[in-house]
């Protein structure tokens, strides 16, 4: 009886040691992180032309399709400018036609009677015709600019997405080049996961990943798209090199840098609302080499994932 008890005790101790070792490995060595954020590209929308806002068919956080009208600027001034430019073009064309007829007459007369028309008169007429042609081209460019400005009184969505940070209303005066709203690109949602550098050797591009959103607890499928090749130098935080500057993480006494990993969503359900900036937990699944692990280590894997997600 004592032998049986000792054997059971030994088995329990061995199991506890094994379990603690595997949990430690899963928790501190396997590629998982709670430092992950949902990210989406935000397109800043500004008016190309200045004027009063006379129509605003969208509201804050409303969904839009590419090409939908976001805002309309009072077109009266730009309609007038387009009519004026068109009139100037017509005048330039008429002047060019008159000069073309005059140049043709002088040239023909020079060919029949060399004593009546000098060579200098012919050259002068040709130069005046070239100048008239240039005036027509300049007027055409001015008319095209006026038409473009008139078309730009209608600001339309550049992408499918959601209006956010709406800062204008009907009656406001929109300044040219000043952003008045942003449109979150619905097709650009991804996960920016920051892994400790010690875990990077077990992360490979195209590896599957599981994503747990903190807001809802929903677990989504993803896949590693890329791993950052540079981060900002913590010793020189003022350097302007457009690099991400993730906060370092202290574990025991050792300093581990956080490296951004870009993860795309796969088979994203339509009923899951994503919010750029929301927090998530990410587990990168083992690669093919890890699949050769013993069965007992694979059996503990669900518990390790549960521990990471909680």
* Residues whose CB is less than 8 angstroms from the CB of residue 172 and which lie 6 or more positions away in sequence, other chains included: 52, 53
**pLDDT value for 32:** 85
Comparing 88-92, 150-154, 192-196, 247-251, the range with the smallest average pLDDT is 247-251
Q: What domains can you pick out in the chain, each with its CATH number? A: 26-41+186-309 (2.40.30.170), 44-185 (2.40.50.100)
**pLDDT value for 79:** 94
Q: Which two tokens stand for residue 290?
A: 């890890």
Q: How far is CA 84 from the centre of its chain?
A: 39
> Region 70-96: what's the mean pLDDT?
94
* Backbone dihedral angles phi then psi of residue 236, each to the nearest 5 degrees: -135, 70
Q: Is the pTM of this model over 0.85?
A: no
Q: What pLDDT band is residue 81 in, cutting at 50, 70 and 90?
A: very high
Measure the N-to-C terminal CA separation of the chain; round to a whole number of Å.
41
Query: Percentage of the chain with pLDDT > 90?
Result: 44
| Average pLDDT over the chain, rounded to an integer | 81
Q: Which two tokens stand for residue 53?
A: 């806002």
The Cα 153–Cα 135 span in angstroms is 28
Q: Is the pLDDT of residue 31 over 90?
A: no
Where residue 64 falls (left for φ over 0; alpha for ψ -120 to 50; beta otherwise) is beta
Return the ∠ at Cα 137 (arms to 134 and 139), rounded to 5°. Answer: 110
Comparing 42-46, 143-147, 190-194, 255-259, the range with the smallest average pLDDT is 255-259
Please say whether the beta carbons of 97 and 136 come within 8 A. Answer: no
Residue by residue, DSSP assigns 182-200 as EEEEGGG-EEEEEEEGGGG
Q: What pLDDT band is residue 238 in, cutting at 50, 70 and 90?
A: low
Query: Percentage of the chain with pLDDT > 70?
Result: 74
**Does an H or E element contain 309, and which?**
helix 295-309
């Amino acid at each position: 009886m004592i032998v049986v008890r000792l054997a059971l005790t030994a088995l329990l101790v061995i199991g506890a040691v094994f379990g603690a070792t595997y949990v430690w490995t899963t928790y501190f060595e396997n590629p998982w992180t709670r430092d992950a954020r949902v990210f989406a590209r935000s397109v800043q929308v500004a008016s190309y032309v200045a004027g009063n806002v006379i129509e605003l068919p969208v509201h804050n956080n409303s969904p839009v399709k590419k090409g939908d009208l976001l805002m309309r600027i009072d077109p009266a001034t730009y309609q007038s400018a387009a009519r004026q430019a068109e009139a100037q073009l017509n005048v330039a064309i008429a002047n060019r036609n008159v000069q073309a007829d005059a140049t043709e007459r002088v040239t023909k007369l020079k060919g029949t009677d060399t004593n009546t028309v000098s060579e200098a008169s012919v050259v002068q007429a040709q130069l005046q015709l070239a100048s008239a042609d240039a005036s027509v081209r300049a007027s055409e460019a001015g008319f095209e600019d006026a038409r473009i400005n008139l078309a730009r009184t209608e600001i339309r969505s550049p992408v499918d997405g959601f209006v956010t940070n709406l800062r204008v209303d009907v009656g406001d005066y929109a300044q040219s080049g000043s952003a008045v709203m942003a449109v979150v690109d619905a097709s650009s949602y991804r996960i920016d996961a920051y892994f400790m550098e010690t875990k990077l050797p077990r992360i490979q591009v195209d590896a599957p990943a599981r994503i747990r959103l903190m807001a809802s607890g929903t677990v989504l499928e993803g896949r590693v798209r890329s791993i950052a090749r540079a981060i900002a130098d913590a010793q020189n935080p003022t350097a302007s090199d457009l690099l991400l500057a993730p906060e370092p993480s202290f574990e025991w006494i050792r300093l581990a840098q956080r490296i951004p990993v870009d993860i795309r969503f796969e088979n994203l359900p339509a009923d899951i609302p994503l919010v750029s900036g929301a927090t998530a937990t990410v587990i990168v699944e083992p690669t093919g080499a890890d699949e050769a692990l013993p069965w007992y280590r694979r059996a503990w894997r669900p518990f390790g994932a549960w521990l990471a997600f909680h």
